[in-house]
Amino acid sequence: MDPNLHRPMALQETPVILPGHDFETVTETIAEVPLSKRFPLGWLGIFLVALGGAGMLHMALGYLLIKGIGIWGNQVPVGWAFDIINFVWWIGIGHAGTLISAILLLFKQQWRMSISRLAEAMTIFAVVCAAIFPVFHTGRPWLAAYWLFPYPNAMGLWPQFKSPLIWDVFAVSTYATVSIVFWYIGMIPDLASLRDRAVSKVKAAIYGMLSLGWRGSARHWHRYEVATLILAGLSTPLVLSVHTVVSFDFAVSLIPGWHATIFPPYFVAGAIYAGFAMVLNLAIPVRRFYGMESLITMRHIENMAKIMLATGLLVSYGYACEAFFSWYSGSPHERFMMYNRMFGPYGWSYWTLIAINAVMIQLLWLKSIRTNTVVLFVISLFVGVGMWLERFVIIVTSLNRDFVPSSWGMYYPTRWDFMTFFGTIGLFLTLFLLFLRFVPMISIFEVKTLLPQAKVKADH
Amino acid sequence: MAHTPETTSALHGVMAEYDSGQALVDAARKTMAQGFTRVEAYSPVPIEDLNTIIHKSRTVLPKLVLAGGLAGMATGFGLQYWASAIEYPMNIGGRPLASWTTFIVPSYELTILFASLTAAIGMIMLCGLPQPYHPVFNVGRFSMASSDKFFLVIESTDPKFGGAAAFLRDTGAKGVYDVEE
C-alpha cells in the first residue's frame, strides 16, 4: 500500500527518501563514508578543535583530582551547581535518541529510520558526558564505586536505597547500557554490509568481527525483528523513567522550588525538547556536508522542529505551573523563592530562559522557519542554551537564598567549571566525529525497507 | 580452511540468486510446495513472510525476555531488601527498614536491564552468532546479499536434494551456484 495514501497533503510533498534511490545507491551512499580512505578536510579541522576541547577536559579533571573539588565554584549555600546542571543538561539531551529509535518505532513512524542511528549515537555520547559530572564531583571517583554501586565490599557497607541519588545511579547506568546494546544490535546488519563491501582486508576483518558473521537469513531476520521490537518496547518506559528519576533528585527534597509534583513530566518534556535541538544541530550540518539530503530530507527536519515546538510548549506550561504553585501554596518560602528567581540577583537568567523557551520557540509555528535550515540551526543552538539556563535557574536560584537570610550567598563558577563544561562539549564532538567516520551514520537496511524493491505482496 | 581435493566435492547446498524480494518470496513458496525441507533464504532487508513460509515456527525469544525481566525484578528487589533489612539495617528517621515503595525504582530499572540484555544476547545466541565461518560465504556473489540481491539455498541434507539445482533454475533465478562446504 502506498504509505502516502492516508497522509495529509502537506506531508506528501516531501517523501521520507527522495526519489532516485534503490538498494544499491542507498548502500553505496552510506557505506562510502566509513569505507573510503579519504575524508573531508573540514572533518579533520573540526575534529582537531573538538579534540582540543577534550584535552581541556582532561586538564580540568586532572587538576580536580590533584587539588580536590574546591577548585569549583560551588560553595554553601549553593552546594550543587555546574556539576548537576551539566549532568541534567547532558542526560536530557540524550533522551531524543531513544525517543526516535524506540517510541517512534512503536508508532511505526517511518521517517525515524534515517535519523535513528545518528540520534542513538548522540544519546550514548551525551550520557558519557553526563556521567563525568556525578563521578568527578565525588572528588575521589575511585572511591565512588562503593558509594554508588551495591557490591559486597570489605567494609560491609551498602548504599542507601531510600535515596533518589541511588535510584539515579540505577536509572542512568541501565539507560547507558540499554542504549549501547540497542545501538549495537541495530548496527549488526549494516556492519555486515560494510564487511561485504570493504576493499581493505583489515577493514573487512574488523567489520566482519563486529558483524558477528551476520548472514541475513530468514531465521536471522525473524529473531532480529522480534528482538528489536522488544528492545523498543523496553526502552520506551526506560527513557521516560530516566529523567523522571533525575527529577526525583530534586522533587523528593524539601527545598522550595524543587519540591513539586510537576517535576517528572516537566523534566521529561524538557529533555526531549533539548534532545531534538541537539539532533537538529548535528543533522543539519551532517546532511549538508556529507550530501545526505536525499536520505535526511526536509520532512525529517520539519518533523523534528514540530516535536521541538510541542515539547517547548509543554516546558513553557511547566514554567507557568511552577509560578502558579509557588503563589497558590501560600508558603512564604515558596513565594519568596519565585520572587527571588524572577527579580533576584539571577533574574537575568530566568528572563533569558523565558525569552528563549517560551517566546522564541513560537517562531516554529511558521512553516517557512521550520524549513529554513540555517534559521532552524540557530534556533536549536538557542534551545540548548535555554535548557542549560533552565537547570541553572532551578538549581542556583533555589539554593542561593534559602530559609535563613544569614546563610544567603552568591554562586560564581570558576574557570575550572567552565573548562570542564566546554571540555565535555569537545569530548562529545570528538566522539561524534569518530562515529561519522567509522560507522554507517544512517541505518542502511532500515532505509532500504522504505524502497519499493523491499515491498512484497502480502499473500498470493 | 584448506580443502583436500577429495573434500571439495562436499556440497553445503545449491544457491539461487534473485533480483527482488518478491521473486525470492515467490521462489520460496514454490520450493516449499515442491516438498523441499532443508531450505534457507537470505535477504538484505527483513521480509516478514519469509520465516513463516520456510520455517513455520516462531522464536522463543519473547518468553526468554519475560523470564529475564522477572529475574531482574527479583534481583533488584531481593538485593535491596536483603541489604536494607537483613545485612545492614539502619534506622533512617524511624522509617521501616523494608520500605518497599522506595525499592520500586531500582527494581524497575533492573527489570528493564535484565530483559534488554536477554533480548540482545538471546537474539545473538539463537541466531548461532558469532559465527565467522559459514559455507554460504564461499559463493562470491553472496557478498551482494547485504546489498541488493536475494538468495535461496537448498541444503544438501535435504532428501530431495538430487533435483534441487534443476528445480531452482526454473524458479526465475538469475543464477544458480554450488555452495561448497
Summarised one tens digit per residue, pLDDT across range B135-164 is: 888 887 888 888 888 888 888 888 878 878
Share in percent of chain A as helix, strand, coil (round to 5): 75, 0, 25
Q: Which residue of A has its CA nearest to B116?
A: A231
Q: Specify if B143 maps to a domain.
A: yes
Q: Specify if A172 maps to a domain.
A: yes
State which of B126, B148, B168 marks the end of a domain.
B126
Nine cell digits for residue A307: 516535536
**Cell 557478498 -> residue:** B143
Nine cell digits for residue B67: 523470564
- CB contact (8 A) between residue A218 and residue B41: yes
Q: Measured on CA atoms in the order B3, B6, B8, B14, is the torsion positive or negative?
A: negative
Shortest CB distance from A170 goes to which of B61, B110, B137?
B110
**Is A355's pLDDT higher than 90?**
yes
Q: What confidence tier does B114 reach under pLDDT thresholds 50, 70, 90?
A: very high
Q: What confidence tier does A259 reach under pLDDT thresholds 50, 70, 90?
A: confident
SS3 A405: helix
Q: What is the mean pLDDT of residues A24-34?
A: 80
Q: Is the ipTM of this complex over 0.90?
A: no
Q: Specify if B16 maps to a domain.
A: yes
**Cell 563544561 -> residue:** A421
Query: Is B99 found in the same domain as B73?
Result: yes
- CB contact (8 A) between residue A226 and residue B115: no
pLDDT of residue A416: 92
- CB contact (8 A) between residue A224 and residue B46: yes
Q: Specify if B159 maps to a domain.
A: yes
Query: Is B74 found in the same domain as B51?
Result: no
- CB contact (8 A) between residue B44 and residue A178: no
* Residue B174 vs residue A322, higher pLDDT: A322
Q: What confidence tier does A427 reach under pLDDT thresholds 50, 70, 90?
A: very high
pLDDT of residue A112: 82
H-helix segments, A94-139: 95-98, 104-106, 112-137
Q: Measured on CA atoms in the order B173, B175, B176, B180, is the torsion positive or negative?
A: negative
Query: Is B51 found in the same domain as B66?
Result: no
Q: Specify if B2 maps to a domain.
A: no
Q: What confidence tier does A3 reach under pLDDT thresholds 50, 70, 90?
A: low
A173: CATH: 1.20.1630.10
Q: What confidence tier does A4 reach under pLDDT thresholds 50, 70, 90?
A: low
pLDDT of residue B2: 45
pLDDT of residue A278: 92
Query: Is B69 found in the same domain as B48?
Result: no
pLDDT of residue A379: 94
- CB contact (8 A) between residue A221 and residue B46: yes
Structural domains counted in chain A: 1
- CB contact (8 A) between residue A170 and residue B46: no
pLDDT of residue B120: 93
Q: Specify if B105 maps to a domain.
A: yes
**Is A213's pLDDT higher than 60?**
yes
H-helix segments, chain B: 21-33, 48-54, 61-81, 104-126, 164-169
Q: Specify if A460 maps to a domain.
A: no
Residues 62-101 of B with CB under 8 A from A: 62, 65, 69, 76, 79-80, 83-84, 87-88, 90, 92, 95, 99
H-helix segments, A400-451: 415-438, 444-448
Q: What confidence tier does B3 reach under pLDDT thresholds 50, 70, 90?
A: very low
Q: What confidence tier does A5 reach under pLDDT thresholds 50, 70, 90?
A: low
Phi/psi of residue B127, nearest 5 degrees: -75, -5
Query: Is B118 found in the same domain as B163?
Result: no
Q: Specify if A377 maps to a domain.
A: yes
* Contact (CB, 8 A) for A312 and A148: no
Query: Is B69 found in the same domain as B122?
Result: yes
Q: Which residue of B has its CA nearest to A192?
A: B146
Query: Is B70 found in the same domain as B52?
Result: no
Q: Specify if B104 maps to a domain.
A: yes
B166: CATH: 3.30.70
Separation between Cα atoms, residue A294 and residue B73, nearest integer Å: 45
Q: What is the mean pLDDT of residues A357-371?
A: 91
Global pTM?
0.88
Nine cell digits for residue A228: 528489536
State which of B110, B126, B142 marks the end of a domain.
B126
* Contact (CB, 8 A) for B150 and B20: yes
Query: Is B139 found in the same domain as B52?
Result: yes
pLDDT of residue A1: 44
Separation between Cα atoms, residue A57 and residue A46, nearest integer Å: 17
- CB contact (8 A) between residue A234 and residue B143: no
Query: Is B72 found in the same domain as B115?
Result: yes
pLDDT of residue B6: 45
The length of chain B, given as a count of residues: 181
* Residue B65 vs residue B157, higher pLDDT: B65
Q: What confidence tier does B1 reach under pLDDT thresholds 50, 70, 90?
A: very low
What range defines the domain where residue A400 resides?
9-454
Shortest CB distance from A170 goes to which of B25, B95, B105?
B105
Separation between Cα atoms, residue B71 and residue A12, nearest integer Å: 46
Query: Is B90 found in the same domain as B40?
Result: no
Residue-wise pLDDT tens digits, A159-186: 888 888 889 999 999 999 999 999 999 8
Query: Is B146 found in the same domain as B108?
Result: no
* Residue A80 vs residue A457, higher pLDDT: A80
Q: What confidence tier does A10 reach under pLDDT thresholds 50, 70, 90?
A: low
Question: Which of B60, B63, B123, B142 should be substituted to probe chain A, the one whose Cβ sees the most A Cβ atoms within 10 Å?
Answer: B123
Report the percent of chain A where pLDDT is more than 70: 96
- CB contact (8 A) between residue B109 and residue A213: no
- CB contact (8 A) between residue A161 and residue B46: no
pLDDT of residue A37: 78
Closest CA to A46 of A366, A375, A355, A289: A289
Q: Specify if A2 maps to a domain.
A: no
CA of A446 vs chain B CAs: smallest distance (Å): 7
Q: What confidence tier does A7 reach under pLDDT thresholds 50, 70, 90?
A: low
**Cis peptide bond N-terminal to A40, omega within 30:** no
What range defines the domain where residue B116 resides?
61-126
**Is A11's pLDDT higher than 80?**
no
Residues 149-178 of B with CB under 8 A from A: none
pLDDT of residue B7: 45
Separation between Cα atoms, residue A57 and residue A49, nearest integer Å: 13
**Is B18's pLDDT higher than 90?**
no
SS3 B153: strand
Judged by a CB distance cut-off of 8 A, whether residue A213 touches chain B is: yes
Separation between Cα atoms, residue A186 and residue A205, nearest integer Å: 20
Phi/psi of residue A95, nearest 5 degrees: -65, -25
Q: Specify if A441 maps to a domain.
A: yes
Q: What confidence tier does B165 reach under pLDDT thresholds 50, 70, 90?
A: confident
Q: A358-365 contacts: CB < 8 A, separation 24 or more?
A: A358/A312, A358/A315, A358/A316, A358/A319, A360/A386, A361/A308, A361/A309, A361/A312, A361/A313, A361/A316, A364/A305, A364/A306, A364/A308, A364/A309, A364/A312, A365/A309
Structural domains counted in chain B: 2
Q: What is the mean pLDDT of residues A117-138?
A: 90
Judged by a CB distance cut-off of 8 A, whether residue A452 touches chain B is: no
pLDDT of residue B166: 79
Residue-wise pLDDT tens digits, A293-352: 888 888 888 889 999 999 999 999 999 999 999 899 889 988 999 999 999 899 999 999
When the pLDDT of each residue in chain A is averaged and rounded to a whole number, the result is: 87
Query: Is B146 found in the same domain as B105?
Result: no
Residue-wise pLDDT tens digits, A72-105: 988 888 888 888 999 999 999 988 888 888 888 8
Shortest CB distance from B42 goes to which of A197, A216, A456?
A216
Neighboring chain A residues of B21 at a CB cutoff of 8 Å:
453-456
Shortest CB distance from A222 goes to which of B59, B113, B115?
B59
Q: Specify if B79 maps to a domain.
A: yes
Neighboring chain B residues of A227 at a CB cutoff of 8 Å:
61, 119-120, 122-123
**Is A398's pLDDT higher than 60?**
yes
Phi/psi of residue A265, nearest 5 degrees: -65, -35
Neighboring chain B residues of A222 at a CB cutoff of 8 Å:
46, 50-51, 55, 58-59
Judged by a CB distance cut-off of 8 A, whether residue A108 touches chain B is: no
Q: Specify if A231 maps to a domain.
A: yes
Residues 3-62 of A with CB under 8 A from B: 22-24, 27
Q: How far is CA B176 from CA A219, B17, B151, B152, B169, in A?
A: 22, 6, 9, 9, 7
Neighboring chain A residues of B44 at a CB cutoff of 8 Å:
23, 27, 189, 193, 216, 445, 448
